[in-house]
Amino acid sequence: MKRLLLCLLLLAPLPVRAEVICLMLADARTGVVLLEEGDCDRRVTPASTFKLALAVIGHDAGLLEDAEHPVMMWQPGDPDWGGDSWRGAVSPHEWMRDSVVWYSQRLTRALGSGRFAAAVRALGYGNADVSGDPGFDNGLERAWIASSLTISGREQVEFLYRLLNRQLPVSAESMAFAESLATGHEVAGWTFHGKTGGAYPRRTDRSFNYARGWGWYTGWAERDGRRVIVVRLAQDEERHPGSPGLRSRDAVFADWAGIAARAGL
């Protein structure tokens, strides 16, 4: 019996050690904050949560038509660490669902540095710095991935509030388009729509610190006609397999009953 218990303990998954930097919920209609835990003013990389803003920008610039167009093809040399879904043909819907980095890079390159920077500033997105890594002129490739562009949990909530209430300085159609691309899930009677984001800090030698990954979930939950904006940011305390963004999303879903209770929902 003792041997069996030892085997079960060895096979059990180890708990994920991560610090929750910010958890914030706000009423999507009024903007009233319903729950705020942690340091929601701390800015870090938005990672792939930036795709919601880029969807707004890309559609407003005429680069994105609808959920299925344009389809772009992966080319040798494009990032492919996301697996098979990143290789081949990718539509806007698949870009958002599978978080395809190279599709984002095609959009930013088509915009060019000037238009890209102006569009991010116009949205008031975080610190609006898309210059990239100092001295590397790579803002179009990775400003939003552990680089110059940073945003806080509070600013994520504010961006989503303006998106959902059609208050961004772009067409209503572009905001509706970005909203429609957000990935959906059903959790305990609520319908969630949102975007994950995960990235790793750079060390001084430009290597990545895979033990300290940032994990975002940014989105909104709907039930019975009510919408609640939900933002969670965590940072790993040790290395774990998989995406820190997916872990942050899954933590929201797993603890949703408790989170909703603390927010008075």
Residues assigned a catalytic role? 48
| Phi-psi sector, 47: left (phi>0), alpha (psi -120 to 50), beta | left
Structure tokens at 62: 């005429």
| Dihedral angle over CA of 181, 182, 188, 190, nearest 10 | -80
Distance (Å, rounded) from C-alpha 19 to C-alpha 147?
A: 21
- The answer to whether 148 and 116 are in contact (CB under 8 A) is no
Give me the residues paired with residue 9 across strands.
none
CA distances from 236 to 165, 216, 231 (A): 33, 11, 17
| Dihedral angle over CA of 83, 179, 252, 239, nearest 10 | 30
Q: Angle formed by the axes of helices 101-123 and 50-60, to 10°?
A: 80
Question: Which DSSP letter does residue 145 get?
Answer: S
